[in-house]
Amino acid sequence: MLSKMLLRRGMFLLPSFRIPPALGLVPYSSQPKFSLADEIMKDKARQEESSSSSSQKDQHGGEEPPKGPKPLSKWEKIGYTFFGVTFVGGLFVNAIIFSLPDRDEEGQNIPDDYSDLPFPSQYYKRLSNKIFKTKKDLEEPFSDKLLPEPLQKPYYQPKYTIFLELTGLLVHATWTHKHGWRFLKRPGVDIFLSQVGYPQFELVVYTTENAMTFFPIIDGLDPEHQHIMHRLFRDATRYHNGHHIKDLNSVNRDPKRVIVVDWNNDSRNYFKLLGTPMLTILQGELQVQEDKRNKELEQKKSSILPSFGSSFRPWNK
């Protein structure tokens, strides 16, 4: 009767039913969906893990494999042992050779202060003395007189001696990806060297740089060797507290007639008593001028030789 009344009013009444608990249905939003390929891949991964774990257990007697770094093999232990024995033996042999007494031209031992000591003591004393002497040679200048004696008549010796730093004062080192290392000269340095060089002053370049690298740089500043009379490099400095210091006590010149032009504050330890003027390092001004020069060269290149394009590189003096 109720269903007929609902049908007349356009309403439908569905019969109620209960979901069997055996189906175990869950809401759609919380149940993950996996394809058949995913299930196959999971089963394959489980099988591989179980097979690998069983093989590892078989190798270790049915126990879990040890954690941490892999132990060294037999040949690795032999190699490391051989390397260690060779290294220690080489040090021992070199120490014995270094502690041997000096020999003359005939091959006979030259007596020294340790010849009368017992055998182990004289070798130990001689070795420690040579090590200390080598360290001293590296830290101190190569000679007590870095410059030769002043010129005597009939030659002319200038009255004053000027010591100039090279890097940061006369030239500035710059590096770019396009050109690599280049050394820029201070503007007017050629005129300066011609005015203060011989015979007006005894001009000496005293730098803390390496001679092998910067000797050609000085040759470029004075190619005919007319202005710069002497050149002193890192081996003429004194190594103190991590810095190479210029020692004016060993230059073999009267300190009252010495003029030092430098910018490095680390060299002041030996310059304080002389009142040495400290200049600013050469860097920014040269870079601006170099950029301006490159811009002018690019304009000339595009106007004079347009056919070469970007492959043309003008020579920068």
Specify the DSSP element, H or E, that contains 208.
none
User: Residue 43, SS3?
Assistant: helix
Which residue do the tokens 């309403």 mark?
Answer: 11
Enumerate the domain spans of the chain.
Answer: 161-299
Q: pLDDT band at residue 26, thresholds of 50, 70 and 90?
A: very low
The segment with the largest mean pLDDT, out of 61-75, 76-90, 113-127, 237-251, is 76-90
- The answer for 273, left when phi > 0, alpha when psi is -120 to 50, beta otherwise, is alpha
The segment with the largest mean pLDDT, out of 25-29, 64-68, 121-125, is 121-125
Tell me how far the alpha carbon of residue 261 is from its chain's centroid. Answer: 29
Distance CA 3, CA 12 (A): 8
Distance CA 316, CA 290 (A): 10
Q: Assess contact for 56 and 65: CB atoms under 8 A.
A: yes
State the amino acid at position 183 in one-letter form. F
Predicted confidence at residue 87, as pLDDT, reads 94
Structure tokens at 111: 């007596």
Candidate from 163-172, 247-256, 293-302 with smallest mean pLDDT: 293-302
Does the pLDDT value for residue 20 go beyond 70? no
DSSP letter string, 222-246: STTSSSEEEEE-GGGEEEETTEEEE
Q: Which fold has domain 161-299?
A: Rossmann fold (3.40.50)
User: Residue 220, SS3?
Assistant: helix
Distance CA 150, CA 137 (A): 26
Distance CA 80, CA 197 (A): 61
Does the pLDDT value for residue 305 go beyond 50? no
**Does the predicted TM-score (pTM) go above 0.85?**
no
DSSP letter string, 50-101: HHHHHHHHHHTTSSPPPPSSPPP-HHHHHHHHHHHHHHHHHHHHHHHHHTSP
User: Residue 269, SS3?
Assistant: helix
Does the pLDDT value for residue 19 go beyond 50? no
pLDDT in tens, 31-47: 555 567 777 777 878 87
pLDDT in tens, 194-209: 999 888 999 999 998 8
Does the pLDDT value for residue 12 go beyond 50? no
Predicted confidence at residue 81, as pLDDT, reads 93
Q: Assess contact for 274 and 163: CB atoms under 8 A.
A: no
Distance CA 205, CA 230 (A): 7
- Counting every residue written for the chain, the total comes to 317
